[in-house]
Structures are given as C-alpha cells and as structure tokens.
C-alpha cells in the first residue's frame, strides 16, 4: 500500500477495514525511521519491539470484529519529557540518560487506550529549555527542509518526525512555544491547548504554571483528532479541568463573521521581512474565506517576554531541584556521607550549560530582596496581560500573528542566549495567559517554512481549528520536504 499518499484518516480506515494491517503500516514507519532518521535525528529512543507488539494487538482486535478506539492503530511519537512506562525518558539530558519511568503519563495512557501505538521518544532541547534542539545532550535535530538548519524547539524531534513521515502524529509540550515554534519551522501543525485541558501528569516539569502537552500533525484535523484523545480532566493533575469537548465538526471552510485582531506587537522590530510578507499574504487569504481583521495594540505584550523568562526560570529552578543523584538518574559517587559534594558533582556533570544558566537565574529572582523586584513584578505583568486579552476577547474571536518572527536559523549561526529568548516573543503570551493557540503552515521563504499563529478564548480550540482549517484549505500548500515518506 502506498502509505505516502494517504491521509491519517485514510490509513486508519484501511486498518479497520482490513485493507491493510496495523503491523504492516507500523513496520513501514519503523523502516522509514531506520532509513532516514540517522540524518534527521528526530528520535532519541525507538521502541520497535513494543510498537510491533501493540500493532499485532490492534490487528487481533480487528480480526475479532471489535471496534477500534479513536486512533485506530495510528502510531504516535512522544516527546522525551513525557513519561512512558518501561521506555527510557531522558528529557534530552545526561542527568536522565538512563531513567526508565515506572508509569505512563496520562496523555500516553489515553493514547494507548484509543488504540494509538507508541513509536518511541523524540529529541528536544534539554529539559525543554530552548527553541532549536541545540541544547540536546544527544545532538541537535536537523530541519527536514534544509540541512544544517534548526527544526525549532523544544519539541523539534516531534515536529521533524511528523514532517519527514517518521510518525503520522506526535505529542510535544509547550511551555513558551515549544509545540508551535517547531511546527512553524518544520511546516506542520501544532497546538498549545488551553491551560488545564490536558493533564500534565507524567510530563516532566519545567515551568508547571505555563505548560501543556499538545498535538503535532500534518493537518489541522490530525491535531484535532489527537487533542480529542488526550484532553480531559484527570484526578492526578489538580490543575486539569472539565470542559473538554473539542468539537471536530467545527472544521469548516468558511469563516463568515469571524473577527480577528492582529496585535502590532507581534510584527515588531526583529520580524524578518519574508515573515511579515508571508503573514500579510495569509491574512488576505483569510479575508477571502470570510474573516475580517483589524490591527490592534496590546500594550502589556511589550513586557511579557521579560515576565515569561523570570517566571519560567523561577519555576525551573524549583522543579529541577529534585535531580540530586540520590533518588534516580545520574549519581556521582564521592566520599561517603558528603551529600553536598554528591549533589554538586551530580548536578555539575548532569546538566548542560543552558539548564544551569536557568537554575541560577531562577534561584536569583526568587531570593530574598530580589523576589519583589523580579518575580512579583513578573506575576503582576502576567495578570495585566491576562486582563488585557480578556477585555479584547469581548471584541475579537481570535488573535493572529506570525508564529516566529524569524526563519529557521543555521546551527552554525546560533543566536546568543538572550537573542534566542527574544525570538519567543510571539509564542509566550499564550502560556502566560493560559489561552489556546495553534500554528499552521502559512508559506515558504528561501525554501523554509513559515507559520501562522492564532490564539482564542479559553477552551475555544474549536475556533482555532475552524480558522486554521479554513486557511489550510484555502492556501493548499504542498508540505512534503525532500526525502520524506
């Protein structure tokens, strides 16, 4: 069967109607990984045996005449900071290089229970800190569209795997853009759900008040399918909430009456010209399918980047305190009884430079005397931004902007840490406010993909899907990178 030409829905259908077997399809994907991932490096761990075994179970279910779950035998790649029972979960860090979780994250349990097949664990920036995968202990992921360029991050492995056909669907996590940035840089679709829609149980914490697990797929409807599977309240995550109906029938091609606000701060200085050009062309397309848009100003956006990095680093410094080399993960033996020396050796050796930088800055902004000056102020900005968006959401259904202000950059021209923080300027607002957001391919410049981003009111993922799907249908971009299967 020529899987390359089939959509996710068609493959699912073929499996349930026994036109093909799940085992045949999963073997095809595993072979593609074996052939092509040496160059892309989107996976850290591939669980070929487990995937084939699960595929056989799906085939047995079909043969027995039982109805399959929503994923119907489709394989899913999982970012390596989402715990998988019995499969090593490293966070792309040396400190967790040999960590094998004794449990599944809720999102993984739900994927399996809807007959999704776990393919393996995808590469990322260490502890999800970054937007390029350059900080991965296992080496960076290559952009599927152009060698030597970043696929974006931190969920770069998940996005690159989907773009290359090395997984039809993937899960990432988004603390400040980590699903949307790589989706944009790899020419695929990525969703950051409303805070609380998806359980964070089993997601290895970076900044707990900001992050969500989100789907990555080739199309908007693929993402809607996977989000529908993983969303829902969970007694193991007290921040998860009940309103979960992700309305798939919302995928319309017309947007009559939909009002879109375009914050001018999302097209500010530092936005590269091809990005601006592609964005406005996309907005023209959106008008053609019935939406109206207005340029607006969101004043507190100009403060949001600083607020994001203060809060994210503060939470990281606290969340990462658990890696002490005593309970699990890397441990450095030293003179018996000298705990401080063990901690210090383990942490110095186990964490990379960016992670250390953030632990130090995070501890600094939380320390006596600086707490009020930095952390508290950042929280106030967060509230300002939330209120400002809430006010604007009475007038607008959606906000739109380019997902990333720049094109995927080259690994040999990596931005400095500060420059790298600055290019998150358009993605971090959704995390500070908890709003849902989506990135959908908008076009190309210099052979590299550019993403269009929408934000909506809390739990209005249906509006995101409607707008992104209408745009996707109207734009009709052919998104197959060279060598993809």
Active site residue 178: yes
Contact status, residue 312 vs residue 173, Cβ threshold 8 Å = no
Nearer to ligand GLN, 201 or 396 (CB): 201
Q: Which stretch binds ligand GLN (CB under 6 A): 90-98, 129-137, 366-374, 444-452?
A: 129-137
- Stretch 73-112: interaction string toward ligand GLN, x if CB under 6 A: ----------------------------------------
Q: What is the SS3 assignment for 453?
A: strand
- 286's CB contacts (< 8 A; 6+ apart) are 255, 260, 293, 400, 467, 470, 471, 474
Q: What is the DSSP string of 126-195?
A: GGG--SSSTT-TT-PPPPTTSTTB---SSSHHHHHHHHHTS-SEEEEEESSSTTHHHHHHHT-EEEEPPT
Rg of the chain over CA atoms, in angstroms? Answer: 21
Q: Is residue 193 a contact point for ligand GLN (CB under 6 A)?
A: no
Q: Is residue 228 a contact point for ligand GLN (CB under 6 A)?
A: no
Name the residue among 218, 225, 170 with its Cα closest to residue 7: 218
Measure Cα distances from 304 to 42, 172, 260, 326, 381 in Å: 31, 23, 21, 37, 7
Q: Which of 72, 130, 261, 362 binds ligand GLN (CB under 6 A)?
A: 130
Q: Which stretch binds ligand GLN (CB under 6 A): 55-63, 170-178, 273-281, 477-485?
A: 170-178
Q: Which stretch binds ligand GLN (CB under 6 A): 66-74, 122-130, 222-230, 461-469?
A: 122-130
Q: Which stretch binds ligand GLN (CB under 6 A): 174-182, 219-227, 290-298, 396-404?
A: 174-182
Nearer to ligand GLN, 178 or 466 (CB): 178
Which of 32, 154, 304, 439 is an active site residue? 154
Q: Which of 154, 199, 271, 453 binds ligand GLN (CB under 6 A)?
A: 154
Nearer to ligand GLN, 195 or 206 (CB): 206
Q: Is residue 29 a contact point for ligand GLN (CB under 6 A)?
A: no
Burial environment of residue 303 by CB neighbours within 10 A (0 to 12, 13 to 18, 19 or more)? middle
- Count of residues interacting with ligand GLN (CB under 6 A): 13
Q: Which of 73, 176, 187, 451 binds ligand GLN (CB under 6 A)?
A: 176
**The two three-digit tokens of residue 424, written as one number:** 């998150």
Contact status, residue 474 vs residue 234, Cβ threshold 8 Å = no
Which of 79, 94, 112, 285 is an active site residue? 79
Q: Which of 59, 174, 265, 397 binds ligand GLN (CB under 6 A)?
A: 174
- Residue 150 CA to chain centroid, in angstroms? 15
**The two three-digit tokens of residue 59, written as one number:** 């085939």
Q: Is residue 175 a contact point for ligand GLN (CB under 6 A)?
A: yes
Q: What is the DSSP string of 296-347?
A: E--TTHHHHHHHHHHHHHHHHHHHGGG--SSSSS-----STT-HHHHHHHHH
Nearer to ligand GLN, 96 or 255 (CB): 96
Active site residue 356: no
Nearer to ligand GLN, 13 or 354 (CB): 354
Torsion of CA 51, 56, 58, 59, to 10 degrees: 140
Active site residue 16: no
Catalog residues that contact ligand GLN under the rule CB under 6 A: 128-131, 154, 174-178, 206, 312, 424
* Residues with active-site annotation: 79, 154, 178
């Amino acid at each position: 069967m020529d899987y390359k030409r089939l959509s996710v829905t068609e493959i699912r259908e073929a499996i349930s109607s026994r036109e093909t077997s799940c085992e045949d399809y999963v073997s095809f994907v595993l072979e593609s990984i074996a052939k092509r991932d040496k160059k892309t490096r989107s996976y850290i761990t591939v669980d070929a045996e487990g995937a084939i075994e699960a595929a056989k179970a799906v085939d047995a279910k079909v043969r027995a005449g039982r109805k399959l779950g929503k994923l119907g035998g489709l394989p899913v790649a999982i970012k390596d900071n989402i715990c998988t029972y019995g499969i090593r979960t490293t966070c792309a860090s040396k400190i967790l290089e040999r960590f094998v979780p004794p449990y599944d994250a809720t999102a993984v349990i739900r994927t399996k229970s809807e007959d999704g097949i776990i393919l393996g664990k995808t590469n990322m920036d260490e502890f999800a800190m970054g937007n390029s995968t350059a900080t991965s202990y296992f080496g960076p992921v290559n952009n599927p569209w152009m060698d030597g360029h970043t696929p974006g991050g931190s969920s770069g492995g998940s996005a690159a795997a989907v773009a290359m056909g090395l997984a039809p669907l993937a899960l990432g996590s988004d603390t400040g853009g980590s699903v949307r940035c790589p989706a944009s840089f790899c020419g695929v679709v990525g969703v950051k759900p409303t805070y609380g829609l998806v359980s964070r149980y089993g997601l290895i914490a970076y900044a707990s008040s900001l992050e969500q697990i989100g789907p990555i797929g080739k199309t908007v409807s693929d993402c809607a399918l996977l989000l529908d599977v993983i969303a829902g309240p969970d007694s193991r995550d007290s921040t998860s909430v009940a309103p979960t109906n992700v309305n798939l029938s919302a995928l319309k091609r017309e947007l009559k009456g939909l009002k879109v606000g375009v914050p001018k701060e999302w097209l500010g200085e530092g936005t590269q010209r091809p990005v601006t050009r592609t964005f406005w062309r996309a907005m023209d397309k959106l008008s053609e399918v019935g939406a109206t848009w207005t340029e607006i100003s969101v004043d507190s956006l100009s403060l949001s980047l600083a607020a994001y990095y203060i809060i994210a680093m503060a939470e990281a410094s606290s969340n990462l305190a658990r890696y002490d080399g005593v309970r699990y993960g890397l441990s450095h033996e030293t003179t018996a009884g000298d705990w401080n020396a063990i901690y210090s050796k383990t942490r110095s050796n186990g964490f990379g430079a960016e992670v250390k930088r953030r632990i130090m800055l995070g501890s600094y902004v939380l320390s006596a005397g600086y707490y009020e000056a930095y952390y508290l102020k950042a929280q106030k900005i967060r509230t300002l931004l939330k209120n400002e968006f809430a006010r604007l959401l009475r007038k607008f259904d959606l906000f739109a902007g380019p997902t990333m202000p720049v094109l995927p950059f080259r690994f040999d021209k990596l931005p400095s840490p500060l420059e790298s923080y600055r290019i998150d300027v358009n993605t971090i607002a959704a995390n500070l406010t908890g709003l849902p957001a989506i990135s959908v391919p908008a076009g190309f410049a210099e052979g590299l993909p550019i993403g269009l981003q929408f934000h909506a009111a809390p739990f209005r993922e249906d509006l995101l899907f409607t707008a992104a799907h209408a745009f996707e249908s109207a734009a009709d971009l052919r998104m197959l990178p060279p060598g993809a299967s």
